[in-house]
Amino acid sequence: MGVNELETATWTEAAPAEAALIVRCTRGDEAACTELVGAHQRMVFNLAFHLLGSRDEAMDLSQEVFLRVFRTLASFRGESALRTWIYRIAVNQARNRHRGWLRRHRADQVSLDQHIKDGGDMPSDGRTPDGVLASKETAARLWQALDRLPFDQRTAVILREIDGLRYEEIAFSLGIAVGTVKSRLTRARQALRAELLEVRP
């Protein structure tokens, strides 16, 4: 039996309110710029933090992203939602920064204890302390496995699982085809599942 592909979603125009906001920003309206940043800053910062793993790096990257947004906003033609367009800029900036980061920290190792400490406490969900600890350790190992994935696979997983983007939006953000998004997600999840099976008590 054949399986129907999902119809390619199109978003030829940004929403009218969004379009008006963009026009005001390109005219130098400071309040509009503030509104634009305020609406997207948490999204950009979190994505940067999850991709780079450093608060300071994420802060710097977020600034770079919004500077880039203001510089190129006049060229935005509404071929996608503004949010997706900003994601694309953020991913590209993060990729550039990640290459430099790899060169600087290739030999660095992050200890599991430190990683668990960074992650804080997992919700107990009424489980025993041992169960909570095991779950916490599993999540930490899973996150470590995510960190070890190639940048493009990791980005696809983060955009899908954490930011909740659809395949078409991920494809636009990464500048790749939807089929490539599927294959990257499949490979990434295979690796994560292998880690999960290994850790699972």
Partner 1 sequence: MTPMVGCEVARPLLTEFVDGELAVPSQVVVEAHVRACRTCAAHLEDLQAIGSMLRTRAGLMEPRADLAAMLARASWRAQAEQAMEWPVRLRRTFDDRRVAWSLAGATCGLALCVLLTAGLVAGLEQQAADSLAAVMKVLASPGSDQNPMQLDARMLPPRLAIATMPDDAPELSSLPTDDVVYAVAGTVTRQGRLVDYAILHDDRPDLGHRRGAAAFGLTPAEVVQAVSRLRFAPAQSRGESVAVNMVWVVARTTVRGTATPAELAGPWLAGFGRRRS
Q: Is 185 in the site for partner 1 (CB under 8 A)?
A: yes
Q: Is 166 a residue that touches partner 1 (CB under 8 A)?
A: yes
Query: Which position among 26, 46, 92, 180 is part of the footprint of partner 1 (CB under 8 A)?
Result: 46
189 binds partner 1 per the rule CB under 8 A: yes
Q: How far is the CB of 45 from partner 1 (least distance, A)?
A: 6
SS3 for the chain is CCCCCCCCCCCCCCCHHHHHHHHHHHCCCHHHHHHHHHHHHHHHHHHHHHHHCCHHHHHHHHHHHHHHHHHHHHHCCCCCCHHHHHHHHHHHHHHHHHHHHHHHHCCCCCCHHHHHHHHCCCCCCCCCHHHHHHHHHHHHHHHHHHHHCCHHHHHHHHHHHHCCCCHHHHHHHHCCCHHHHHHHHHHHHHHHHHHHHHHCC
Report in angstroms how near the CB of residue 143 gets to partner 1 at its nearest: 5
Footprint of partner 1 (CB under 8 A):
1, 3-7, 28, 30, 33-34, 37-38, 41-42, 45-46, 49-50, 55, 58-59, 62-63, 66-67, 70-71, 118-123, 135, 138-140, 142-143, 146, 157-158, 160-162, 166-167, 182, 185-186, 189, 192-193, 196-197
